[in-house]
Amino acid sequence: MTQTATLTAQIKANDPIINRAYQLLAQNQLEAVAKLLNEAQRNTTQDPRIFMLGAKLAEQQGYPDKAVEAAEHAVALAPQWWPAQLELGLLLARLDRYAKALAQAEKIFALESKERMALAGVVDIASRCGDLNKAIIYTKRALEHYPNDPILLMSLANSYFYNRQYDEAHATWTEVIALDPKQAQAYFGRLNVWVQRGEPAKAQEDIERLLDLAPQDPVYQYYAQVVAGQTPATQPVELQRQLFDGMAGRYDLHMVRVLRYELPKQIAEKIVDIFPDRKFNLLDLGCGSGLLGVYLGKVNGWVIGVDASSKMVEQAARHGIYHKFHTVNILDAVRDTPANLYEVITALDVFPYVGDLAPVLGNVHRILQQDGFFFFSTEVADNDGPGFVLQANGRYAHSRSYLESLLQQAGYALATIEEKTIRFEAGEPVKGFVVTAQKGH
């Protein structure tokens, strides 16, 4: 048997081992996966799939550099095999190593420019890296080989939309609808184009079709109010969950590095200044990926997180700071929590998804202990007229007078409202209110 034939046979012998290892990885049985990889290496060390899977294992274990090293070794073993190249590119994108990821996407594109999965992969890499112009180029090239492919067309429409090319996005969604008149995602995409343009009334046809397809869908019911010119009291939890489940894995780095979001760090410092002995119980409403917990560190008390997104909660749990999580709507959480439990309650960058704050501020006051503190932020409404407005970007903004009135009605003894930049978007500062409120005797 030739050397090549021997290697082929050895790699073939790994098939059931690799398949089983992927199954166990999906079940988070990491030790069992590591044992199977060792078994596969005893057959041969030249199987690139071992190192592709090893990269996934290392990433899941929290060792990003080892993951990249393993993926690069897989590529070195099979430099012309696009799956290994793609695995490395996607890994680099997930780790926010954008320049290297985009360079890898170019290699994949040059290596295999007609393979459907490879083309989808480079589009994904470009999108994750925020290079929407490149994503559009890749998707257009893919459509040359697979014209009228609905998945590619929807990907192109999304890239246009997030690149603020609204005319192109609308035209592409319309093309998808012509191919499949029951494609809900396309109607929803067109609807969002009109909302972002500040012309939601023009989405009447789209919302009617969506409600025909799913009349009980709370997200569609919410947008029906928006299209009718109404301001819903809050976003449905289903819409929030959809948004944050999709960005959980890259939320921390994106918020801190890209959007320059420093509020959790600033509030953590305020809390420690007030409680230098770190003796307090804290309820973190909309805890997200646990950024507040990261900056706060260990405390002499309970830290409880509430978030509608289970994917976000999974990220927060990795920090080892939170003692317990509730994966529920924050409105339900504060309504159902007994009185006088917490010295500190936080809601950072949460209220842009809640319009009517009266129920929240009242319930938070009830569940705070005497002299307890409530820290929260909102976005600033452009004028001080209505209490809250729904912006074209889908987030709520609140007026200072509205916040002052609700804080007084709820019975807070002391409250300070500070206007500051809470993050950046598209390079522009987002103005917000940061509120510190204290419950009196």
Supply the pLDDT for residue 86.
94
Residue that the structure tokens 């929240």 belong to: 360
**Residue 415, number of CB atoms within 10 A of its CB:** 17
CATH classification number, 242-439, choose in 3.40.50.150, 1.20.810.10, 3.40.440.10, 3.40.50.300: 3.40.50.150
Q: What distance separates the 2 farthest-apart alpha carbons in the chain?
A: 87
Alpha helices, DSSP H, located in 129-165: 132-145, 150-162
* Separation between Cα atoms, residue 120 and residue 143, nearest integer Å: 11
Phi then psi for 433, rounded to 5 degrees? Answer: -105, 135
Nearest in space to 9 (alpha carbons), one of 37, 38, 47: 47
User: CATH fold of 148-230, please?
Assistant: 1.25.40
Angle, alpha carbons 241-378-362 (nearest 5°): 85
Supply the pLDDT for residue 256.
46
* Separation between Cα atoms, residue 341 and residue 366, nearest integer Å: 9
**Residue 83 C-alpha from the chain's centroid:** 26
Give, for all 441 residues of the chain, the pLDDT tens digit.
565 556 566 678 888 888 998 999 999 899 999 999 999 898 888 899 999 999 999 998 889 999 999 999 999 999 989 999 999 999 999 887 889 999 999 998 888 668 888 888 999 999 888 888 999 999 998 999 999 999 899 999 999 998 889 999 999 999 999 999 999 999 999 999 999 898 999 999 999 999 999 999 999 999 999 999 999 999 998 887 776 655 545 555 555 444 556 889 999 999 999 999 999 999 999 998 888 998 999 999 999 999 988 888 888 888 899 999 999 999 999 999 999 999 999 999 999 999 999 999 999 999 999 999 999 999 998 766 668 999 888 899 999 999 999 999 999 998 899 998 887 776 778 889 999 999 987
Q: Is domain 3-143 given the CATH code 3.40.30.10 in the classification?
A: no
The reply to whether 3-143 and 148-230 are identical in fold is yes
* Separation between Cα atoms, residue 392 and residue 15, nearest integer Å: 51
For residues 199, 201, 204, 206, the Cα torsion angle rounded to the nearest 10 degrees is 20
Q: Kindly report, residue by residue over 40-93, the tens digit of the pLDDT.
A: 898 888 899 999 999 999 998 889 999 999 999 999 999 989 999 999 999 999
Q: Kindly report, residue by residue over 139-155, the tens digit of the pLDDT.
A: 998 999 999 999 899 99
Rg (CA), the chain: 25
- Break the chain into its structural domains and give their ranges: 3-143, 148-230, 242-439
3-state secondary structure of 286: coil
Locate 312 and state its tokens.
């976000």
